[in-house]
Every structure is written in C-alpha cells, then in structure tokens.
Amino acid sequence: MTRQEVGRPTDRRRLELALEAAGLGEFEWDIERDRLAVSERMAAITGLAAGEHAAEGGRALECAVHPDDLPALRQSRERALAAGDRFEAVFRHVRPDDGAIVCVRTTGIVVRAPDGRPVRVTGVVQDITGHELEEERRTSLMAELDHRVKNVLAAVQALAYQTARQTTSLDVFLQNFAGRLKAMASANELLTAARWRGAAVDHLAAAELGAIAPGQTSWRGPELFLTPRAANALALAFHELAANAVKFGALSMDSGRVDVRWRRVSEGFELDWAETGGPRVAPPATRGFGSTLLEQVTGRELNGQAEIQYRPSGVRVRLRAGAGAIAPRPETVPEAPSARVTELVSPRPVNRPSNLKGARVLIVEDAVLLALELETGLSEAGAQVIGPAYELEEAMGLLDRPIDAAVLDANLNGRSVAPVAEALTARRVPFLFATGYGETGGAPGGFDAPVIRKPYDVTQVAVAVAELLTPA
C-alpha cells in the first residue's frame, strides 16, 4: 500500500459516509431468498430492527406503514415489480419501538435477472417529517394570508362606500379615503412586524400622532397589545379623531393640545382622548361617517363601547375595550414608529404644490400604476420627471442624467434599490422612499431619508419632494 492510499476510504465506506451525510437509511430485499436487510441508519429512522429478517413477500416493509397510506405504497411497489425499474413513495410510518409517527420517503431500484424476473430491490428511506410539517405550515399560512387579504379588501371596499356616501366632492372623498386607508396600512405594518400576534397601543398612537403638530400631542399608558382586529379598529379611531382635531378641533390652533391616556381595567382597558386649548366646540349639526365609525364600529370591534362628548373646552372621547381585544405580548415587538417615518403622513389638508417647477425628479417604482400616478402628480406640480424606472438596471442607467431629487421604491421585483440609493447619496442627491417595505422604526437599509408608506397620496409625495429641495 502506498503512502497516498493510507486513510483513503473504500468505495463502501465512501457510500456509507454519503448516505449518512444525506440522512438516508438503506435496505435490500432479496426476493429469491425472501430476506430483508435493514441498515443501522434505516433502523434509526424507522424504529425497525437492524439486521437481516424474513421479508414475508415484502410485508416486512409494510408492517409499520400507516393503514391509510398502505394501498398507495403497495400499488407503487407492485407496479415497479411488474414492469418498471424503480419506485418512490411517501407515507406515514408508525415506529414500532416508541409509537411515534414519522413521514418517510422511500425510493427503490428493482434488479432483474436476464429473463426479466425481479430478483432484488435495493432502496433508501429518508425522514421528511420536518419538510412535511413545514409544507403544512406553509399551506396553512397561505390560507390565512388569503383570508386576511380578502378581509382587508372587503374592509377597504366598505370604507370607500361609506366615505363616498358622506361626501359630495371628489377631492374631499380622496382626502378622507386616503387618510383612512393610511391608518389601516399603519396598523397592518405594525402587525406584520409582530408576525400578526398583536400591536401595541403606544405604537398605534405614535403612527398617527407622532408627527402631527409637534409639541401639541402626547400619549401615555402601560404596555398593552391588541389583537389584529382591535388594532385596526383603534388605528382608524385615532385617525378619525386626529383628522377632526386638525380640521376643526384643538390641533387647528397653535395653542391646542391633544392628550391620550389609557389604563388597564379588570375587563380590558380604557382609553381617553382629550382636546384642550382649541376653538370653542359645539355638537355637529349632522353625523358623519367618522362619528358612526367611532361609536359603532370601534366600540364593537373592541368588544366595548365608545362615548363622544362635545364639551365647549374641547372634544373628549372615552373608549372602553373588553378583554377579548387584548393580545399577549408578541415574541417579536417592533420599534415604535419614528417621527422621521411618520412626518409625511399627517392628516392635515394638502394642496397640490406649485414649487416643483423645473425640478428634475427621478421615479423608481416597479408597480406600473403607481409609477404612472407619481409621474402625473409630480408633472402637475411642475417637475420634469426622469423615468419612471421599473427595474434596478433601468434605474442605474438613468443616474448619469442631471437629477435634483428622487422617489424610490425600496424593492424592485424582489431586488433592493440600495445600489441606486448609494449612488444618489454619493452624488449628494436627496431622495425619499415611497414604499411598503422597510423597517417600522426607520428608512429601508438604514439610509438617512424620509419615508412615505404605501398606500399614499401622491400630493404628499410632491410636498415631500419640495421639502427635499428646500434649503435648510
């Protein structure tokens, strides 16, 4: 034996190492001798005894197969013995040593004599229990996603109908509907970050109030997480109250304040909204959808009730929620939304800006309809639109043009827009993200840039671009 051959594994050992690395156990069924050989690796997977045993015409391979899966296994094997050269089957296997059920995939090769008779079957088995459980989990998650998407679409449709019934102007409808849609989106973003286990009340308050009239809003209470249904309801309630305060209430004046406080009670929690320092308040002459949403929808969705008081000194609202609205603390808790993220989603009325005249603005957005809407809105504001670019390479190819500002989606058909953002940063070209992706607490990729979350009002994007171009 040469020195180079010392320690070199034999072909048999090499095969054993490969089988072990792949998590496979092997067997051999000698049909002529009616004997079954089970390897140690197969024994570890199936709980069958290792060594050579009576094959019993193949029944020894079936002794622990789940009864519901046995017919398909037999059919596959018999078909291969009759005319094929291999068979494969997936079945549940009840381990005879401990009774545990494992999901097994087996593959066998039929060896035939010169006259065509099957004389031996050699095969392997693999424990795919983890894979099957993951597939079941994936199927369950897809079904749950389908359910949630349909619920969201139904809720959006209902919001659109209810908002339309209460408005006579298209501009007012678009403003009110966009604000309510944004409130739903903020709640869903927080829920997604927590894997749909719950959203914190303070995070919901921060998402809606964090950038409205800085120094005029505050919120405080114990850490409290709500179920997805309750979180969406409270997000809409915060939006309706904030929008009303900005238009008619305390936040319509520099001297006004909004204070939100909540506390745990034995049956759930209570939340108080108090406006002070604003104009004198009187009950509205007509009831709008906002009042209906607060008193009926929010109360019911929180398993409690809502009470609105139109005091001369300011609007007061008390929301009472039942225990069913409270969720356990999620394992993953996102950071509270920062003002940098929320500063561009204020419900204050936004008029189309006229100060983008001549500005060269790059649009990078993979959704064609959104890109067209952005192009139209920015063009109407006076901007010279570059693009839109729908793909990463297309966007990179436009960077050699003169650019004053850019609007970037964070994800372009599954690819990060980071290379574009890095190139713009190197050129000191300001940009913002208009996206549904990114971290709740900051801009995608850690870039120092404002963020507008989808769904958005294109006028907000135009205003934000104008702010980027305004000297500090």
d(CA 454, CA 306): 29
Rg, the chain, Cα only: 32
Q: Which candidate, 317, 347, 387, 113, places its Cα nearest to that of 239?
A: 347
- Listing DSSP states for 277-314 in one string gives SSS-----SS--HHHHIIIIIIHHHTTSEEEEEEETTE
The CATH classification number of 143-342 equals: 3.30.565.10
On the question of pLDDT at 448 being above 90, the answer is: no
On the question of pLDDT at 3 being above 50, the answer is: no
How confident is residue 153, by pLDDT bands cut at 50, 70 and 90? low
Where do you find CATH 3.40.50.2300 in the chain? 360-469
**Domain 360-469 falls in which CATH fold?**
Rossmann fold (3.40.50)
Higher pLDDT, 360 or 410: 360
- Mind listing the pLDDT tens digit for each residue in 304-343? 888 899 999 999 999 999 988 998 888 777 666 654 343 3
Phi-psi region of 429 (alpha: psi -120 to 50; beta: other; left: phi over 0): beta
d(CA 420, CA 132): 40
- Mean pLDDT for the stretch of residues 290-304: 76
- Mean pLDDT for the stretch of residues 69-89: 85
Where do you find CATH 3.30.450.20 in the chain? 15-127
CA angle 263, 265, 266 (to 5 degrees): 160
The percentage of residues in the chain with a pLDDT greater than 90, rounded to a whole number, is 23
User: Could you identify the residue written with the tokens 């953002």?
Assistant: 421
Q: Which two structure tokens, joined as six digits, stand for 59?
A: 């029944």
d(CA 62, CA 295): 64
How confident is residue 143, by pLDDT bands cut at 50, 70 and 90? low
On the question of pLDDT at 146 being above 70, the answer is: no
Question: Which residues lie below 8 Å from residue 371, measured CB to CB, with a gap of 6+?
Answer: 363, 365, 387, 388, 390
On the question of pLDDT at 357 being above 60, the answer is: yes
On the question of pLDDT at 220 being above 90, the answer is: yes
d(CA 278, CA 284): 16
How confident is residue 166, by pLDDT bands cut at 50, 70 and 90? low
- Mind listing the pLDDT tens digit for each residue in 260-295? 999 999 889 999 999 999 999 888 877 776 677 777
Report yes or no: 208 and 182 within 8 Å, Cβ to Cβ.
no
Q: Any alpha helices (H) in 84-128, and if so which ranges? A: none
How confident is residue 428, by pLDDT bands cut at 50, 70 and 90? very high
Average pLDDT of the chain, as a whole number: 81
How confident is residue 79, by pLDDT bands cut at 50, 70 and 90? confident
Where do you find CATH 3.30.565.10 in the chain? 143-342
- Mind listing the pLDDT tens digit for each residue in 80-120? 888 878 888 888 888 888 888 889 889 888 999 998 889 99
Q: Any alpha helices (H) in 357-430, and if so which ranges? A: 368-380, 392-397, 418-426
Query: What's the pLDDT at 33?
Result: 92
Span of 104-118, 392-406, 426-440 with lowest mean pLDDT = 426-440
Query: What's the pLDDT at 9?
Result: 59
For domain 15-127, give the CATH superfamily. PAS domain (3.30.450.20)
Span of 4-13, 146-155, 344-353, 452-461 with lowest mean pLDDT = 344-353
Query: In this structure, how many other beta carbons lie within 10 angstroms of the beta carbon of residue 384?
Result: 14
How confident is residue 242, by pLDDT bands cut at 50, 70 and 90? confident
- Mind listing the pLDDT tens digit for each residue in 182-215? 766 766 676 666 566 778 898 888 887 876 776 8
Q: Helix, strand or coil for residue 254?
A: coil
